[in-house]
Structure 1
Amino acid sequence: MKVPTLENEYVKLTLLDLSNYEHLIPIAQQENLIQYSPSKIDTPEDLKAYVQTAVDGYYHKTTIPFIIYDKTKEAYAGSSRFGLINWKNKVLHIGWTWIGKEFQGSGINKHMKFLMLQYAFETLDFDKVEFRIDERNGRSRKAVEKIGGTLEGILRKDTLMQDGFKRSTCCYGILKEEWPNIKATIFSSFK
């Protein structure tokens, strides 16, 4: 499976692997960056293991991990991926997304999500994209709602966090038939 470079004038997404993850070490060490994630990335060793898991998934065709490059700031900004890819049912998740605090609120996340949604629906021809978000993470929930995600339900106490807390997970989805309208309205100025 050849991974394309997804890019526009603001952001560039390329395959995240063990040859480039070190660009993300300073970002991954930012305090509380992924406080709502069950993953641990705040040491170089933890980040390498996190990336290795993503790479393993890539070779098993269940994930496509990306490193995010902010073209306007000329700097690496973070990571995201397609995960839990179900080729038979044509459903995948967009998640495992984290960007450095200096990039948050800049619009880069919306540009990145546009490119990923466009690729999932228009190139891979998938029927549905899902997002799973910690119920407590209001900021991420609002961001997914702003790009057209519909709350489909909440999985109660389904994920064990690093600190032992059992989180509840909000399940959002966008359907292929919803994409043309979302693209024409929410992403009307994007290319």
Structure 2
Amino acid sequence: MPWPDPISLHGDTVFLEPLTLARHDELAEAVQDGELWKLWYTFIPSPEQMKADIEKRLDQQRKGTMLPFAVIAADTGKAVGVTTYMNIDANERRVEIGSTWYRKQVQRTSINTECKLMLLTHAFDNLNCIAVEFRTHFFNHQSRRAIERLGAKLDGVLRNHRRSSDGTLRDTCVYSIIASEWPTVHSHLRHQLALRSAKSP
């Protein structure tokens, strides 16, 4: 059986559910907020590509290399993005958290922090992972700052790692959190969420 098993994860402002085509229309609408598919340094599907993208993720899930989630805003019950466990290594118990996007409206809110807290908690506390990776384009400065705010450390840069959607060569920044760092990172993320909650009206 593929590892890890599909699961729903619940937080205060957001929950994650196994991705299915049932959320297609909501995701096709969400990606239009900010026209996210036009970002040259990352691949995010256009509304017309959404069905194929979901099917591709589900195919990788069947192969045991990915576990995709729909990101659901708790206040509306609607999908606002997608995230995944990917590059799954069941033997070594390692996963990467990636292929993530959120509609512009919820970017720079507590949603990303809470999603990452839930995914990291499940990875380290339930799946007994030895490490969790994050990868992003060298020029995706917003993503790099967000990863660094989580407490992940830069392992290195893979030069000319792959081609971007516009054909240019991508340098990929590889970050990770290892199991021994998780207790401190967990406290840090809980503190960040508490600060955001205190600032909310």
Q: Give the whole-Å Cα distance in 2 for the aligned partners of 1:173 and 1:47.
A: 29
The answer on whether the counterparts of 2:26 and 2:78 sit within 8 Å (CA) in structure 1 is no
Aligned to 1:117, what secondary structure does the other structure show? helix
Matched, 1:41 2:45: yes
Change in Cα spacing, 1:152 to 1:59, as seen in structure 2 (3 Å) is: same
Using a 3 Å threshold, how does the CA distance of structure 1 residues 162 and 112 change in structure 2: closer, same or farther? same
2:50 is aligned with 1:53: no
1:124 aligns with 2:124: no
TM alignment of 1:98-113, pairs within 5 A: 98-113=101-116
Decide whether the 8 Å contact of 1:133 with 1:171 is kept in 2.
yes
- How many residue pairs get matched? 189
CA distance in 2, matches of 1:169, 1:67: 25
Residue 41 of structure 2 is aligned to residue 16 of structure 1: no
Aligned-pair identity in percent equals 29
8 Å contact kept, 2:44–2:101: no
The structure that is helix-richer by fraction is 2
Give the TM-score normalised by the residue count of structure 1.
0.92
What is the one-letter code of the residue matched to 1:41? P
Query: Who is 2:118 aligned against?
Result: 115
State the 1:22 CA deviation: 2.3
Distance 1:111 1:180, change over 3 A: same
- Cross-structure match for 2:197: none
2:156 — aligned with what? 153
- TM-score, with length taken from structure 2: 0.88
Aligned mates of 1:73, 1:136 — CA distance in 2:
33
- Match of 2:95? 92
Unaligned runs of 5+ in 1: none
Other structure's SS at 1:164 match: coil
Q: Distance in 1 between matches of 2:36 and 2:27?
A: 12
Q: Which of the numbers 147, 164, 169 marks the counterpart of 1:166?
A: 169
How far has the Cα of 1:190 moved from its partner?
5.6
Aligned twin of 2:198 = none
